[in-house]
């Protein structure tokens, strides 16, 4: 799975790769994170590349 992280402004410092998490910094980020989640669910290759 690709974790969805809320807050923690420095979380990318701890992620194994930049695309390995979906980061919600503010409420405005929710629509784009939801779009990314839908895209990854429909595209196994993109999902596997994000791991």
pLDDT tens-digit profile of 1-51? 789 999 888 998 998 887 889 999 999 999 999 999 999 999 999 999 888
User: Total domain count for the chain?
Assistant: 1
- Can you give the pLDDT at residue 23? 93
Write down the pLDDT at residue 19: 84
DSSP 1-51: ---EEES-TTGGGTSSSGGGSEEE-SGGGHHHHHHHHHHHHH-HHHHHHH-
Structure tokens, 51: 């791991």
Domain with 25, as residue range(s), is 4-50
């Amino acid at each position: 799975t690709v974790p969805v992280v809320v807050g923690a402004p420095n979380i990318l410092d701890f992620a194994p790769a930049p695309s390995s998490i979906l980061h919600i910094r503010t409420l405005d980020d929710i629509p784009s994170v939801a779009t990314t989640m839908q895209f990854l669910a429909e595209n196994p290759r993109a999902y596997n590349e994000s791991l």
